[in-house]
Amino acid sequence: MKFSMSPTSRKHAIIAVVALLIPMIPGVLLFPLGLAQTVGLFICGVLAGVLCAAMAGLRVSLALSAILTVASFVAFLAASHPLWAGLVMAASAGLYGLSSRRGLMGVVTSAPILIAFIVADPPEVLAHATEVENAAVLALVVLAGALWGVLVGWFLTRSRKRPPVQASPVNVAIVQGIILAVATGVTMAIVVANNLQHGGAWIILTMLVIAQPALGASYHKARQRVLGTVFGFLLAFAFALVLPTGWPSLVVGLVFFALTVYVKLDSTRTYWQFTMFLTPGIVLVEGATTSVLSTDVTRLTCTLIGVAISLVIIAIVNWYVKLKPVAHAKSA
């Protein structure tokens, strides 16, 4: 069943896109506070909050904000220990997979991605603070971003009829959660042990974006996800060639995030368009405080690795569905 946006809903989506650019204001405050490295994570929190509030409602989005805050705190503390890093990533990805039971995998994608970046490449928060204090500050930044996103998403779409979502049966959701937990947990342990940092986080990101095998999904949809990721990579690379590091990259990244929200709110759009805008948004925002070009170049190999792992995950889930036939995914 396809949902077409009414003129009023389309207007709300456009307003939401414009409002999403307002995170530049609190983002400005993070720089003089010495928290420049947390700007990208703040914005990822905003994206998670606004999409979840718009697509799943206020109660679910507030629960997501609380979980994301706790996960961010624990993720920062686990970042230097391969075993604990793997376990934190496994727990986050496992919950992400289980969220398919509520049809939320395509909505909360940026949440486990945020955790992946914290674990793989923890930001420098406060120079003279303890590790626990830094973890607490980072968690508060993420909470502020998520709650801001929830407020924007709920307020601007509160009168909009939400489109139906495809919910997986409980056994398929459990299988997805277990497979994603094992795959991302092992991968993250390797990433941290070998200090792969942003490149390693990108492998996890690719897995989380592409490996969303809903019941009955075909490799055609998987190819759409791969196509969107590759196009997004090329867009980020093109902008990296002409944009200086800093505010220009951050602003353009925010524009891509806004387009991501708009495409997600308009379910007549295809999934490859969603990933095409999400990918450069993350690259430009995360690379704004380092080097966008070098950040993007390292993504090519990591993207291919992530794609390969994702296709294996999809193959395993599809094999399970054929082995144990279940009812088709239903709207929720």
How is the chain split into domains, by residue range?
7-324
In this predicted structure, what is the pLDDT of residue 197?
85
Q: How many helices (H) and strands (E) does the chain have?
A: 14, 2
Q: How many residues comprise the chain?
A: 332
Closest CA to 232 of 240, 244, 222: 240
Cα(28)–Cα(9) distance, integer angstroms: 31
Buried b (16+ CB within 10 A) or exposed e, 285-316: bbbbbeebbebbebbeebbebbbebbbebbeb
Helix (H, G, I), strand (E, B) or coil at 166: strand
Average pLDDT over residues 170-192: 90
Task: Look at residue 216 and tell me whether its pLDDT is greater than 60.
Answer: no
Q: C-alpha distances in angstroms, 272 versus 49, 61, 209, 241, 298?
A: 21, 24, 10, 23, 22
Lowest mean pLDDT among 148-152, 158-162, 174-178: 158-162
Tell me which DSSP letter residue 292 carries: H
If you compute the radius of gyration of the chain from its CA atoms, what whole number of angstroms results? 18
Phi, psi of 56 (to 5 degrees): -125, -10
Task: Look at residue 96 and tell me whether its pLDDT is greater than 80.
Answer: yes
Cβ–Cβ < 8 Å for 249, 243: yes
Average pLDDT over residues 58-64: 92
Task: Look at residue 132 and tell me whether its pLDDT is greater than 60.
Answer: yes
Range 31-34, long-range pairs (CB < 8 A, 24+ positions): 34/126, 34/127
